[in-house]
Amino acid sequence: MEKDEIIGQRVIIALKRGDVILWSNFVETKTGENLSDIIKVGERAFTMSVDIISSIANFLRPNDHIDIIGTFNDPQKGTTATLTILQNVTILAVNQVRQTQTGMISSADEESLAGINTVVILVTPKKLKCLFLLKVWVVSLSS
């Protein structure tokens, strides 16, 4: 058992100094295999619908960072304004594909990254409220 293999793993029982560490002391799932392992305290996952344009021609991938841009119409003035709502937002999953410590995994055997129609992003509760106010989303890649 190597140190790198156990760092970040969840234990089933309390361990104290001097205890022998066994694989049976750890939860069977590896950290990062479940979406709940990725989302930290104070963060929320939010699923957004996207299309070929807003998904950057289907080039979005888990762990990309994006900006959320909203376009708003002012019917009284007859004008349209486009504003950056959120910046540098992390994508957790694209369709049902997410990245773990061991690589890309999909919750559906035949799922692929072609034809992206949803992305799951990581935001704070305050930023989540902003997203619920938007009706149309446009995504731009950020670095």
Tell me the pLDDT of the chain (143 aa) as tens digits: 577 777 777 776 777 888 888 776 776 544 455 677 778 889 999 988 888 888 777 788 888 899 988 888 888 888 988 888 899 999 988 887 766 655 555 555 344 556 778 889 999 998 988 887 765 455 555 54
pTM, two decimal places: 0.63
113 SS3 class: coil
How far apart CA 59 and CA 115 sit, in angstroms, is 10
Same domain, 16 and 72: no
Domain span holding position 102: 38-142
One domain for residues 119 and 51? yes
pLDDT for the residue 31: 46
pLDDT score for 7: 76
Residues 11 and 77 grouped into a single domain? no
State whether 42 and 106 are in the same domain.
yes
Closest to 119 in 3D by CA, of 88, 81, 92: 92
Domain count, the chain: 2
Q: Which residues have a Cβ under 8 Å from the Cβ of 24 and sit 6 or more positions away? A: 12
Tell me the CA distances in angstroms from 2 to 6, 12, 19, 22, one per residue in order: 7, 19, 16, 12
